[in-house]
Amino acid sequence: MPNEKKGTLDRREVVKAILEKRGDALVVTGLGSSCYDAGVHDHPNTFYLWGAMGAAAMVGLGLALAQPSRRVVVITGDGEMLMGLGALATIGARKPDNLSIVIMDNELYAETGMQPTHTARGVSLSGMAKAANFAVAETVFTDEDLEAGIAALYEAPGPVLLDVKVSGKRYPMSIRLRDGAHIKNRFRENLLGQKAFD
Amino acid sequence: MKAETPPRSWAADIYRAFKKLGVAQVAYVPDAGHTQLILDCRADEATNAVSLTSEQEGVAMLAGAWLGGQRGALLMQSSGAGNCINMLSLAQECRFPLLMLVTMRGEWGEFNPWQIAMGQSTRKVLENAGCIVQRADRAGEIGEVVFAAGQMAFSTSRPVAVLIGQRVIGFKDWSK
């Protein structure tokens, strides 16, 4: 059964609104459109995944445990999150209070030909996160919900998951930085300074 | 005569190697061979011990740990190695260090035929996915092998797996 209510938010506007408030937060993106959305606002405190589908939430967990005084925000897609659903249980069991996950949920595999994902067919990622013991888990349809959600992303004790329902609009790639070792080294050097070379 | 499971003093040797290496995050899918080590890591307040639903989560988690300046180790049984294959592209492409300790099944006195497929292909699978694979086959050498593998992983930024032989872990005697 397809969902009756469709996402209308613009993914680039949503990511812009989130990243404008990033402060000293550390950001991890999933592959594909989430990477390109965040790439428009490139920052050395952003680690971009260009592959390893299903990794984003768990990269966020390891980073959040290593940097307990910083907020870690994972920005990923519904397809990417669905490939690593076990991570919701692992994160819910570990309950890191500084980890937030934002799903840019267009209910589509946009990179591979716009096939519907399970979220187009009644599966709720925020419902799953709630059942996995997340402190905050919401589905966002409107600008008002988004504003409250962004405040929770940065301030509410985590783990937080926002499932943001966005339209299926596609945008071109933005960032061309894709060498994994470079992205990693840039992130570590900026965060850790000389300690990055220990 | 029933085969006895040898005492696992080597679990303490691995724990000491972890402390010497500065391992601060330990991700694991439980295996009988790692029982004592998991208990030791969970009891240590300085170690973030995280139970996973699937081994591949650990590859991603320890990449995050390294991004944040912490060293980690991933514990699994040989059957978990196959779950990690695509996720290991993260370690290879980004040159993330990764220390994996794999307790072997399906290679020595195995009674369960379902363990053979993954046990016999563990080394090949990990090597094909870009890992350096080393072995420990005597209880007395395990701590040293883990420390050496860890130093190589963290100093050269590469995934290194230590396969801990089933002969050391002990096998279930299936005779009636």
Structural domains in chain A, CATH included, are: 11-190 (3.40.50.970)
Q: What pLDDT, on a 0 to 100 scale, did the predictor assign at position A3?
A: 78
N-to-C CA span, chain B: 10
Q: What pLDDT, on a 0 to 100 scale, did the predictor assign at position B86?
A: 97
Mean pLDDT for B88-107 is 97
Distance CA A104, CA A168 (A): 10
Distance CA B121, CA B127 (A): 10
Q: Which of residues 13-52 of B touch A (CB under 8 A)?
A: 24-25, 27, 48, 50-52
Q: What pLDDT, on a 0 to 100 scale, did the predictor assign at position A76?
A: 98
- Residues in B closer than 8 angstroms to A89, CB to CB, are 53
Categorise residue A120: left if φ over 0, alpha if ψ from -120 to 50, beta otherwise: alpha
Spans in chain A with pLDDT lower than 70: 1
Mean pLDDT for B133-148 is 97
Of B9, B158, B50, B133, the closest CA to residue A181 belongs to B158
Residue B5 has pLDDT above 90, yes or no: no
Per-residue confidence at B3, pLDDT binned at 50, 70, 90?
low
* CATH class for the domain made up of B10-169: alpha beta
Spell out the domain ranges in chain B. Answer: 10-169
Smallest Cβ–Cβ distance between A52 and the set B72, B86, B95 belongs to B86
Distance CA B33, CA A15 (A): 45
Q: What pLDDT, on a 0 to 100 scale, did the predictor assign at position A197?
A: 87
ipTM over 0.95: yes
Q: What is the mean pLDDT of chain B?
A: 94
Residue B8 has pLDDT above 70, yes or no: no
Q: What pLDDT, on a 0 to 100 scale, did the predictor assign at position B169?
A: 87
Per-residue confidence at B74, pLDDT binned at 50, 70, 90?
very high
Distance CA A131, CA A133 (A): 5
Residue B93 has pLDDT above 60, yes or no: yes
pLDDT digits (tens, 9 = 90+) for B27-51: 999 998 899 999 999 999 999 999 9
Residue B6 has pLDDT above 70, yes or no: no
Tokens of A104: 């840019």
Tell me if A66 and B93 make a contact (CB, 8 A cut-off). no
